[in-house]
Amino acid sequence: MDARTFKDAIYGDFARMGKVLSSPKRFELLDLLSQSPKSVETLARESNMSMANTSKHLQALLDARLVDYQKNKNYVIYQLANPKVVNLLFSMKSIAEDQISEINHLREDFIVRGDQLETIELEDWFDLKEGDSHVLIDVRPQSEFLSGHIEGAISIPVEELNDHFKNLPSDKEVIAYCRGPYCVYATEAVEFLKEQGYQAARLEAGVHEWKQYQANQNH
């Protein structure tokens, strides 16, 4: 085998990763799976695709070995095949954030409500949590909370906030987080809680940002 043949083969293999992530829908599926394993039905609903199309994309991810699955009765529960997938998604988002200004505009407008929403960085949360005047809530679906959550958080899925918010101490500020910087659940939660008279702010991080922050602190 000559060098050119070797390079063509090697770059062909490397580019398979790019190819599988060239689809916005497959990217979203991987993001969803990074929060917890999920069934085809759940993934189809969350990503707004047909079951057939969702299954097709999952087959592509399976073929690239970025996901694998376990059967549970009639359900096929898909999960990330390698924790490095999270790093890969991070890396792609990070550079997309730097190079595509539209991303920041979209986030500013839709997630941070044009800077009208009070937000807290993860670094600041670590200071605040030493005191006793804040409570941290995880507003993702409970299955995602059970898969992994920021230490000290209480699970109150945003869809259940109306039923459970009264359990929150009214003399503390509520810090809400969800799937990460591009998830709107925490924004909705903070808006709702403010309407109910609470002090509330959105944490600009999800469970993966928190884990990465912890890992960096422990060096």
Q: What radius of gyration, in Å, describes the C-alpha atoms of the chain?
A: 20
Q: Name beta bridge partners: 8.
A: none
Please answer whether residues 51 and 58 qualify as being in contact, where contact means their C-beta atoms are separated by less than 8 angstroms: no
Residues in contact with a second copy by CB under 8 A are: 1, 3-4, 6-28, 31, 48, 64-66, 81-82, 84-85, 87-88, 90-96, 98-100, 102-103, 106-107, 109-111, 182, 184, 219
Element (H, E) at 173: strand 173-177
Binding flag, residue 4, DNA (CB under 7 A): no
Nearest distance in Å: CB 16, DNA: 9
Min CB(11)–a second copy separation in Å: 4
| Cβ–Cβ under 8 Å, residues 66 and 104 | no
- 61 vs 205 by CB, closer to DNA: 61
Residue 173, CB half-sphere, CA atoms under 13 Å: how many? Answer: 16
Q: Report if residue 52 touches DNA, rule: CB under 7 A.
A: yes
Least separation, in Å, of the C-beta of 101 and DNA?
A: 20
DSSP secondary structure string for all residues of 125-169: HHHHTTSSSEEEEE-S-HHHHHH---TTPEE--GGGHHHHGGGS-
**Which of 7, 9, 11, 23: binder of DNA (CB under 7 A)?**
23
Q: Which amino acid is at 61?
A: L
C-beta closer to a second copy: residue 68 or 173 = 68
Shortest distance, CB of residue 51 to a second copy, whole angstroms? 17
Q: Scanning residues 54 to 73, which ones bind DNA (CB under 7 A)?
A: 55-60, 69, 71, 73
Size of the site for DNA (CB under 7 A): 25
Measured in Å, how far apart are the chain's first and last C-alpha atoms?
Answer: 43
Strands 154-155 and 134-138: parallel
The option from a second copy, DNA, none interacting with 182 (CB < 5 to 8 A, set by class) reads a second copy
Contacts with DNA, residue ranges (CB under 7 A):
19, 22-23, 25-26, 39-41, 49-53, 55-60, 69, 71, 73-76
